[in-house]
A = this chain, B = another copy of it.
Amino acid sequence: MKIEIDIAKILRDNNNFYILTHKSPDGDTLGSAAALCLALQKMGKNSKILCSDEIPKKYEFLFEHVKNQNFEPGYIISVDVADTQLLGENLSCYADRVDLCIDHHLMNQQFARISYVESGFAATAEIIYEIINALGVTIDADIANCIYTGISTDTGCFRHSNATSHSYRVAADMIDRGAKAFEINKIMFDTKSRAKLSLEKIALESLEFFCGNKCAMITLTNDEIMRSGARSSDFDGLSAIPRQIEGVLIGVFIKEEQTGMFKVSIRTDAAIDASEICANFNGGGHRCAAGCTICGDLADVKKGIILQIERYMRDAEV
């Protein structure tokens, strides 16, 4: 028997659902939660969504048709939450009480009584799609918008390597059911704040090349960040810029987090192990995307990083 059929039975047998999302919420945790909540409410169940942090404005449309219901929790579900720490401070009280965890992260910590983790899926929203179908609830345009948003945001609009044919097929079905894909992608990917644009301009002004142009680096100091008026969401995508330049194998983005404390993000071509470079500074991550934190003044931080990159390139004969 397929697991989504078991899960559907459990949902049918319970009521008064609290759906927990992760802190610093993104389109997948919110889209998944909203889709599931709408489906449960369509079944006549009480259901509400909780998030530790404020919902960013661009995701508000997901909740337009979610009914506001007040009740004590009867069954607690987390969506897209790999670890109870990610519930955030305001939801930490539920950490030991999660009945069902629905997630797609390979490293899910299996903290719930029941876990439905499908790491082959690009987005938790793809699992929610399977569950709603198993529930026999018809996916209407509102639910379709939520599921589409989850998939599109977690795949970077189908540009990341995690997007599978399943992601595309579910997206196709959502469009047929009324999802406004164009409008959603416009909000998610084609809208920039003035502060973000200002940040990009400042970052581009700092662009430098090293290692015979195989390495490109951009930097942002505290002062520059203040001057731009940027909020945390405005930094999305900045770390990818240097690596996107033609011929560049290693992209470095250095951002002053606090005075004299720099967060370094390294993005690399598959031939180069970014995590190995970051390990020299007690950092880590994945092969093509890793990071570390270094204290000092900017000139020294840059010098230190470039030294390690040069050494890596020499040893790896890239």
Contacts and interface: CB of A to CB of B under 8 A. Distances in A.
Contacts of A240: 190
A190 B244 contact: yes
Given A194-B246, A245-B194, A175 B185 contact: no
Contact of A245 (B157, B166, B197): B197
Contacts of A190: 159, 240, 244
Contact of A159 (B166, B169, B182): B182
A247 to B, nearest CB: 8
A207 B173 CA distance: 40
Interface residues of A, number: 37
Task: State the 5 A-B residue pairs at the shortest beta-carbon distance, nearest first.
Answer: A168-B172, A165-B172, A161-B182, A201-B204, A165-B175
Given A159-B185, A182-B163, A205 B194 contact: no
A50 to B, nearest CB: 28
A238 to B, nearest CB: 13
Contacts of A159: 157, 182, 185-186, 189-190
A181 interface: yes
Contacts of A244: 190-192
A164 interface: yes
A67 interface: no
A186 B246 CA distance: 11
A207 to B, nearest CB: 7
B158 A165 contact: no
B205 A201 contact: yes
Contacts of A204: 197, 200-201, 204
Most chain B CB atoms below 10 A, which of A159, A176, A246: A159
Nearest to A174: B165
Contacts of A166: 172
B157 A193 contact: no
Q: How many copies does the complex hold?
A: 2
Nearest to A188: B159
A205 B191 CA distance: 19
Interface in A103-137: none
A63 to B, nearest CB: 20
Contacts of A169: 168-169, 172
A55 to B, nearest CB: 17
Contact of A246 (B164, B181, B192): B192
Contact of A157 (B157, B172, B176, B207): B157
Nearest to A179: B165
A176 B165 contact: yes
A42 interface: no
A172 B152 CA distance: 14
19 contacts: A157-B158, A159-B186, A163-B182, A164-B175, A168-B168, A168-B171, A168-B175, A190-B244, A191-B244, A192-B245, A192-B246, A193-B245, A193-B246, A194-B246, A197-B204, A197-B245, A201-B201, A201-B204, A204-B204
